[in-house]
Structure 1
Amino acid sequence: MISTIVMDFYLRFLYHTLVVPYNLTRIFAFICPYDIAAFHDIRDSDREDQAKQLCNSFKARTTKKGGRLFLIPYVQGDHWVLIALDPAKEKYEKLAIYYLCSASRQLNNRKDMMKLINKVVFLYRTDESLTVPRVKPFDQLFTWIVIRCPHQRPDSVDCGYCVMRFIKDIITHAKTSIFTKYYDDACCEEFGDAHINEVVEEWC
């Protein structure tokens, strides 16, 4: 499995080779994987402060007009997934949180992740005077959409590389919404050697 350092390096690579040259800074923003990974290493009593820090990361990179998709590589234990969302949608009913997992792990098994992201979005929208749902458990606040993305190879530890590939595909298509069935021109059942090697060669 790739490290947080490698994931952060690849995000920087994409920012300088795709996002900036193609004038996509108004469409995409990244949340540093260090900020998310740190959440799992702190005490429960400190998690409120951590959520506020992540909320401030959103504030620093977006506007009330919305239209910017945040790409958030998230690692828990030994597995990377990708979360994507625009926290500044005018109405919360239109806010979708996209979930891409190359191992098809169910959201029901990631309650902590859902609570964290929902809480950060809730804090952001409250601070920015945007509409929020009535009080619910934090893992049920917003709509999550599971994307039918390509899978990693069986018995592999390619999840990090798959997340890198997801991010690149999303940026290449330059849209703030993601099709449930992924992208027609990039969809496949499984990422093979060619898909993974392309990502590896880019940052090596």
Structure 2
Amino acid sequence: MCPEMISATMLKSDADRILLYMTRSMSALSSKTFILCPYYEKSHWMLLVLCLSKREVYIFDSQQKKRNLRIKEPLNNAFRSYKRLGGQSKGTKLTWIPAQCAQQPGSLDCGYYVMRFMYDIIMNHGNSQDLTKDFSRTLPYSPEEINEVKDFWADYFMNNVEFLA
């Protein structure tokens, strides 16, 4: 899901539109194993990984703290709407699971950690049936692992963005 659309700021300013966006996204992506949802709240990036078939949301937070995420209620509501649109009334509650994930040593790398989480999930755990078992790393990423993500992003940007001269 688009991080701008599901940010805490957007949820606060236009909740009905965001609920519709999330519901439509779930419907469009229902055949996927995971829906990656980079989420920004209170100056911090996290990755939410939605697994529709298991009714679970994995929370990848590189600064694991107890958080009352603003997105929980709207995403739960969108999931209920998605299930009802499919004619289902049972099993319409999401379970939120804090994932064991790499913890950043400083306070400025959360965005890079989210990108690295997404990369690792896609490359190594795309067919996982349980991210809590298959993705369990608490040690920080090395500078090389973070630089790899930076290089991927720079290559993508340079190859896909047209520059005006």
Normalised TM-score (structure 2): 0.80
In the alignment, structure 1 residue 124 sits paired with structure 2 residue 124: no
Specify the code of the residue in structure 2 equivalent to 1:190.
P
Specify the code of the residue in structure 2 equivalent to 1:148.
Q
The match for 1:6 is none
Cα–Cα, structure 1 residues 42 and 170, in superposed 2: closer, same or farther, change >3 Å? closer
The match for 1:201 is 151
Q: Size of the alignment, in residue pairs?
A: 153
Specify the code of the residue in structure 1 equivalent to 2:9.
H
Cα–Cα, structure 1 residues 105 and 99, in superposed 2: closer, same or farther, change >3 Å? same
Provide the aligned C-alpha RMSD in A: 2.3
Cα–Cα, structure 1 residues 124 and 170, in superposed 2: closer, same or farther, change >3 Å? same
Normalised TM-score (structure 1): 0.66
Q: CA deviation at 1:176?
A: 4.4
Contact 1:83 1:99 in 2 (8 A): yes
Specify the code of the residue in structure 2 equivalent to 1:81.
M
What is the aligned-residue identity percentage?
A: 28
The match for 1:113 is 71
Tell me how far apart the structure 2 counterparts of residues 164 and 180 of structure 1 sit (CA, whole Å): 18
Match of 1:76 among 41, 48, 71: 41
Q: CA deviation at 1:105?
A: 2.2
In the alignment, structure 1 residue 153 sits paired with structure 2 residue 125: no
Q: CA deviation at 1:68?
A: 2.6
Q: CA deviation at 1:42?
A: 5.9
Match of 1:144 among 84, 96, 100: 96
Tell me how far apart the structure 1 counterparts of residues 96 and 39 of structure 2 sit (CA, whole Å): 15
Q: CA deviation at 1:82?
A: 0.6
Tell me how far apart the structure 2 counterparts of residues 182 and 113 of structure 1 sit (CA, whole Å): 25
Deviations 1:81-130 (A, max 9, x none): 1111122x2xxxx42111110000224x22x2211211111111111112
Shifted more, 161-170 versus 192-201: the winner is 192-201
Cα–Cα, structure 1 residues 76 and 188, in superposed 2: closer, same or farther, change >3 Å? closer
Structure 2 gap segments, 5+ residues each: 155-165
Q: For residue 180 of structure 1, give the secondary structure of its aligned residue in structure 2.
A: helix
Deviations 1:162-194 (A, max 9, x none): 01111111111222434325536xx35112312
